[in-house]
């Protein structure tokens, strides 16, 4: 691509190796990629597939009386969110894991449109006629719960023994830590 507006900023192979996340340098580049079958040509050349970018938010302190399956149309209409922009809306904590006295919970809302997502973050959402705080979901880096290092999970850890996340000593996890001064 000779045109600087059509340059790729980043290309990152996704987990599993079957898809590539491509970020264009400019909005014009992103528009070009999505029209005239350009993305399909690129996909064919790279032997991968297209996955649209999504925008996930946390909707905080939603009353548990809200039934996302029955009332999804209401929340979309009340908050001026086009139905085709919704990827999913679900409770972070499953119903069976809630305390019997729990009255509110947090939900994940994922949309395809960054403008709508930003509006939801700035203005919040209305659920059951109540204003709900909404914030961007911050993905945390991978952290191994066995060695306490980043960039891998415990199932892929090469270390033979556990490392305590509290005192940082080897041979035990925080649940079995006897060094209460540091944990």
Please enumerate in sequence order all residues whose Cβ is within 8 A of that of 80, keeping only pairs 6 or more positions apart, or say none.
none
- The two structure tokens encoding residue 34: 């999505």
Domains, the chain, ranges and CATH?
A: 4-46 (no CATH), 55-136 (3.30.70.330), 141-183 (4.10.60.10)
Encode pLDDT of 98-140 as tens digits. Answer: 899 999 999 999 998 999 999 999 999 999 899 999 999 887 6
Please enumerate in sequence order all residues whose Cβ is within 8 A of that of 122, keeping only pairs 6 or more positions apart, or say none.
none
d(CA 29, CA 38): 11
Query: Has this prediction a pTM greater than 0.75?
Result: no
Backbone angles phi, psi at 90, to 5 degrees: -150, 160
- Is the pLDDT score of 183 beyond 90? no
Encode pLDDT of 32-91 as tens digits. Answer: 887 878 878 877 777 766 666 789 999 999 999 998 888 999 999 999 999 999 988 989
The pLDDT of residue 38 is 84
């Amino acid at each position: 691509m000779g045109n600087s507006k059509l340059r790729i900023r980043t290309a990152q192979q996704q987990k599993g190796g079957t898809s590539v996340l491509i970020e264009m340098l400019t909005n014009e580049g992103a528009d070009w990629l999505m029209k005239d079958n350009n993305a399909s040509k690129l996909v064919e050349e790279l032997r991968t597939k297209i996955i649209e970018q999504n925008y996930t938010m946390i909707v905080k302190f939603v009353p548990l009386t809200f039934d996302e399956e029955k009332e999804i149309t209401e929340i979309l209409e009340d908050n001026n969110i086009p139905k085709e922009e919704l990827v999913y809306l679900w409770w972070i904590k499953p119903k069976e894991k809630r305390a019997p006295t729990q009255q509110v919970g947090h939900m994940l809302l994922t949309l395809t449109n960054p403008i709508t997502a930003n509006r939801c973050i700035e203005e919040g959402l209305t659920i059951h006629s109540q204003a709900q705080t909404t914030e961007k979901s911050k993905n945390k880096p991978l952290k191994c719960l066995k060695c306490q290092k980043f960039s891998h999970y415990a199932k892929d850890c090469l270390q033979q023994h556990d490392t305590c996340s509290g005192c940082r000593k080897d041979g035990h996890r925080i649940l079995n830590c006897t060094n209460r001064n540091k944990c």
